[in-house]
Amino acid sequence: MGTMPRTARYAAHTLLAALALTGCSSSAPPPAAGSTSPSVDPATSAPPSPVQVCTNLVSYWAKEALLGTTWSGLDWEQKGLSNAQYAIHEDAVAAGRAEERTAGRDKALELIDRFVAQRCAAEGGATTSSENWRPPT
């Protein structure tokens, strides 16, 4: 046995990267074994709204910061946040830390989800303030 050809290695790395990114895109847990849930056809489902993207992305990174994970120290651009989303992130982390001191980590994580959802909805996804963000064409 030898090593994989260059194109096979590239394809394998690309697949792993794609799987890693899709694993971070949703904070919803997988359905329980034996549960019945309607199947979703990705070809016919609508893309997520800017508010959904903001909520998922900011909530994920705010909870990572509260938990102090390895990747939580990335800057706002590396996390894929706009300037306004980063402001929401910072406010959510501060609120989460205050809640953690008084009510515990689980309550702090719940607070972050609610806080971020409200702010992202109020700001329409908070995408317009980034110099790097452009609306889809």
Closest alpha carbon to 81 in 89, 70, 71, 73: 89
Instruction: pLDDT band for 137, please (50, 70, 90 cuts).
Output: low
Euclidean distance between CA atoms 14 and 29, whole angstroms:
24
CA–CA distance, 88 with 94 (Å, rounded to integer): 10
Q: How far apart are CA 41 and CA 45, in angstroms?
A: 6
pLDDT digits over 47-105, tens only?
999 999 999 999 999 999 999 998 888 888 888 888 899 999 999 999 999 999 999 99
User: The tokens 């990572």 sit on which residue?
Assistant: 64
Q: Rounding to the nearest 10 degrees, give the CA dihedral for residues 38, 39, 42, 46.
A: -10
pLDDT of residue 127: 80
Tally Cβ neighbours within 10 Å of residue 93: 21
pLDDT of residue 99: 97
Q: What's the pLDDT tens digit per position in 1-50?
A: 455 455 555 555 555 554 454 454 444 445 545 445 555 566 778 899 99
Per DSSP, 123 falls in state: T
Closest by alpha carbon to 127, among 103, 118, 136, 114?
A: 136
Q: 44 and 90 in contact (C-beta within 8 Å)?
A: no
Residue 56 to residues 6, 45, 53, 104, 124, Cα–Cα distance (Å)? 35, 17, 5, 22, 14
Q: Can you give the pTM of this predicted structure?
A: 0.63
